[in-house]
Structure 1
Amino acid sequence: MHQRPSTSKSKVNIQSSGVKAKQKGLANPTKGRGKKSDNMSFRSSKRNCNVLSWLGSFTKLLVVIGSFVLCVYIYDKRIIYGFAEEAGWIAPKNDRLKDFFQEDQLKERVQSKQPNNIYGQKLNVRPSSVNDAIKHDTEVENHVQNTGANQEVDNNIENVANLLAAGHNEKPPHYHVLQVLTNTHQKTHLKTRFVVCIRSILSKASINLHFFFVVDKPSEEFIIECLQQITDEGIARSHFQFTILLVENLGRQLLPHVGDLQAQLQGSHPYYRDAIFFMSLGIHHEILPDDVKRLIMMDTDLKFMTDIKQLFDLFEDFSDENVLGIAHEQQPVYRHLFSLFRSQNKGTKVGDPPPDGLTGFNSGVMLLDFDKMRGSEAYREILRVDFIQKYSEKYHFKGHLGDQDFFSLASMEKPELFYVLPCSWNKQLCVWWKDKGYSDVFDMYFNCPQPIHVYHGNCNTPIPH
């Protein structure tokens, strides 16, 4: 029978100095006692090693967790949320929109502005990557002091529509564009035209752009969806950002600057929403952010065939007197509107076709130099009601086309204020006036012998593919 090994801790197999115990569990008592302390010391050292190893692992874990938290803080959760959402670890973006913005910071930004600064927060866009298009509306009741009396800005809704760059904060763009888009829920063809326009701009632009979109609520939702799709498809060549301006809020801000001129030119009581049609006259009155020095205002029924940077470059061609750039009207519109004056003043150039005539303008594309507009005494003169009253009577003129009528009338007396854009930067396609008694002179207005940079599908005219 095999002898059962002893469970006594002192009776273990020990090999020391080349001498091995003769029997398992039956080592020399004296020798066993001598080795007991050595064995306990060994076990104690091993325990200490295990504790140190555990502490090292725990420290590494803390470092990893700390690094993760730091990344979340530095990158504002954009990169990490992007990976986490793709992996299905977190909820989709619509369930966590407010994680991207601090409402208190936005309210502080809004309340720090004067009441006529109604623009929203701006963020850069990296269109080459697939990013979230996020709309974040913050309703702020902002009490401001205006002309010595407290006025309540009625529940000013700050619309912040942002395309977020994945962890990139680029230098803010310096090229600003403004477009008006309303009533898309009633006139669906406006959506199609806007898509053609914005895609043609972004697919060719070599510069960073900042768009200001003047919209109603239905059109705001459409624009955000449209720009999200453009971003997802990677159409844009450069960074862009945009700011939403609600048409009614902006109209209220413009009315004090343009209301009297509007009433004088159109002969009707001014309504704040209609002030939008005279926006170019008053937009330089500290309504947009301070960094906007030059602005291109354009219709949405355009198609760019060329990099918009080349259009911005035309600002450099302004003379000292030029405050804005605008193209001639390419139909005999003002030949007709000035017809009474022309009949009484034979040989006048008023309403004549280019290049020598005072043709009148089309406001589909306009270049506004804010500093020159603010600093020009001649420009301030044409903004006076008595100026418009005097020359409306002189030329027997009553307009109906908003700011382009105003500038056309003013150009009869102050042509030096206007840099005439080449016809190729606003090639109007409408031919409505051709069969209205002007077929014999129509082509003198309509023809543009230059390579076309921008098509303008006014009068709902189809734009060439």
Structure 2
Amino acid sequence: MMVRSRSLGQTGIIIIIVLCFFLLRGGRVGKPDVNDVRAGATTSAPAEEENELTAHEVVPLSDIENDLLFRPPIDIALIFTKTKDNFGLQYKFRVAVGSMLRHVTVPLRLHLITDDEGFSTASTIIREIQEGHQYNTNHVKLVYVSAEDFAMEIKSSVRVLQDFFTSHRDTYYRDALFFFSIHLHNLLPGLERVILMDIDIKVKGDIAELYSHFDHFVSTNVIGMAFEQSPVYRHLLAVYRNENKKTLLGSPKSEGGFPGYNSGVVLVNIPRLRQSEIIRNYLERSKLEIATKKYGFQGHLGDQDLYTLIAFDHPELFYTLPCGWNRQLCEWWRKHGYSNVFDQYFNCTDTINIIHGNCKTEIPDGDD
């Protein structure tokens, strides 16, 4: 009897332990762990626990969103000044930035070279674009760069450049902002690479692809631009070309010539610009007098005239972008003496990634 009682007692203890085990497990029935939710597990929870499960659900990011979190931003500089009541300029800015955000696959840091009012206006426009198209606001950071303060800093240098590369009849290109690009190493000193773009553009491609052209720069390249797509430099070099019959300067690319550069889209390696003694020399009046006299050159288009002049003797400083990254629409020279050769400059068979409505040419609305 004693043996039997002892056996029953052991059995009772075992039963109690088993019951306790099931009671403890009961509180966890039907609650999948986080990994199950992320993987899309279908284990169902009791009705009273649905709210708790929803609160702890983890929604995985898409591949694009996940990639954006770990990619460094691309630095884009845009000049946006004199915006008060200038609704045409505001519209161009909206088109430029809106089309850029529509196609971009990387985070952007937009350096707005402007004033207080311009920055406020630009911020409002960008916010409206983001809200209207449900773009992630974390993928765009705005940086305010004072145009007025910087213009005063480079005033003496700009005055020299204006004498050689602007027309006294055309006050438009006499504005200091048309020479900001040559001073970007002072304006944006903390950057390594930056893309400066005009705002009379519409972007049709991914800016990340444009930025990748920095990787194609050779060690001597400082600045990247597309060729000018009109015979403007053929015209400006008319005397020089007449005296130098075999020159290719001012000739179209199709003839193996150099038609000059257009500064609507400019890729700048900031450290190399800062270190370039050659470019620094071309900011001096004495050097410009020698170079412009040599080529009989009097420009009127601001910084792109300077770059073109430098490239005549130092092409190694420049990287040439495909024409599709700055597809210029201006056809002014077709109607002013160059209709017979105009298309040799104007033709562009590359994929069009940026449309540039230069010389106030309207960009077609439906050209997305």
What is the TM-score with the length of structure 1 in the denominator? 0.59
- Given that 1:254 and 1:276 are in contact with CA atoms closer than 8 Å, whether structure 2 keeps it comes out as no
Query: Partner residue of 2:141?
Result: 241
Shift of 1:439: 0.5
Distance 1:264 1:455 in 2: 28
Alignment of 1:18-417 (within 5 A): 173-236=72-135, 239-266=139-166, 274-285=175-186, 287-290=187-190, 292-355=191-254, 356-417=256-317
Q: Secondary structure at the match of 2:362?
A: coil
Shift of 1:258: 4.0
Return the structure number with greater helix share: 2
Contact 1:205 1:236 in 2 (8 A): no
1: CA distance between counterparts of 2:300 and 2:359? 15
Deviation of 1:380 (Å): 3.2
Question: Structure 1, residues 229-279: CA drift from partner, whole Å, max 9, x if none?
Answer: 1232344366111112232112112325544333344487x9xx8322111
SS of the equivalent of 1:195 reads helix
Give the Cα separation in 2 of the matches to 1:226 and 1:187: 14
SS in 2 for 1:309: helix
Q: Distance in 2 between matches of 1:172 and 1:254?
A: 34
Answer 1 or 2: which has greater strand percent.
Answer: 1
| Contact in 2 for aligned 1:220/1:244 (Cα 8 Å) | yes
Identity in percent: 38
Do the aligned residues in 1 keep the contact of 2:157 with 2:283 (CA within 8 Å)? Answer: no
Output the CA distance in 2 between the equivalents of 1:183 and 1:257.
22
Larger RCO, structure (CA 8 Å, separation 6 or more)? 2
Normalised to the residue count of structure 2, the TM-score between the two structures is 0.74
- Aligned counterparts of 1:370 and 1:408: Cα–Cα separation in 2: 19
Q: CA deviation at 1:401?
A: 1.1
Deviating beyond 6 angstroms after TM superposition, the runs of 4 or more aligned structure 1 residues are none
Contact persistence 1:264–1:388 (CA under 8 A): yes
Distance 2:71 2:210 in 1: 20
Residue 443 of structure 1, aligned match among 319, 340, 343 = 343
Q: What is the CA–CA distance in structure 2 between the aligned matches of 1:196 and 1:265, rounded to whole Å? A: 29
Deviation, structure 1 residue 227? 1.4
Counterparts of 1:213 and 1:460, CA distance in 2: 21
C-alpha RMSD of matched pairs (Å): 2.5
Equivalent AA in structure 1 for residue 330 of structure 2: C
- The answer to which of 385-394 and 359-368 deviates more is 385-394
Q: Does residue 1:427 correspond to 2:321, yes or no? A: no
Gap runs ≥5 in structure 2: 1-60, 62-68
Unaligned runs of 5+ in 1: 1-127, 129-169
Aligned length: 293
Computing the radius of gyration from Cα coordinates, the structure with the larger value is 1
Give the secondary structure class of the aligned counterpart of 2:305. Answer: helix
SS at match of 1:183: coil
Q: How many Å apart are 1:328 and its aligned residue? A: 0.8
